[in-house]
Amino acid sequence: MKLIPLTQKTIDNLFEKETSQVEIIKKLYSIAVPNWLDDNVECLDGYPTISEHTSKYIFEKFAEMEGDTYFSKTSLWFNNGFSTYASGNMKDWKINAETCKVIYKELI
C-alpha cells in the first residue's frame, strides 16, 4: 500500500487560504488523486482512506471554519470526505488512495 503524506501543516494551510468548503475538499482530493479533475475522468469509485485521528482533525477544522460544532454545517466533509472504514492500521497524517478507483470516460 502506497501512503501519501497529508501533514497537519498542509491541512492547516488549506483552511487558512480557502474560504469555501468545496474548494478545500477539492484540494484534499487532489492530494490523494492528483488527476481526479481531469476532463477524461468520469468519477471516483470509493473514497481515499485516512486514520480516524486525521479525519477527526479535518472534521474539527471544518466545524471551526463555520463557527459551529459537528453535524450541522460540516456535513460536506461528513458526506464527501475520506473514509476511515478500512483505516485499521492507518498511520496518522497519511492517505491510502488505493481504496478509491478512478473511472475514466469511455472514448468514442
Q: What is the mean pLDDT of residues 67-93?
A: 74
Sorted by sequence, the CB contacts under 8 Å of residue 95 that are 6+ apart come out as 3, 4, 5, 6, 31, 32, 48, 49, 50, 82
Name the average pLDDT for the chain: 87
CB 64 within 8 Å of CB 26: no
Q: Where are the domains of the chain?
A: 3-104
Q: What is residue 45's DSSP assignment?
A: E
pLDDT value at residue 75: 66
pLDDT value at residue 74: 56
Say what the pTM is. Answer: 0.86
pLDDT band of residue 82 (cuts 50, 70, 90) is very high
Query: In this predicted model, what pLDDT tens digit does every residue of 10-23 receive, in sequence order?
Result: 999 999 999 888 89
Residue type at 97 in one-letter notation: A
Name the E strands within 2-107. Answer: 3-5, 41-46, 94-96, 100-104
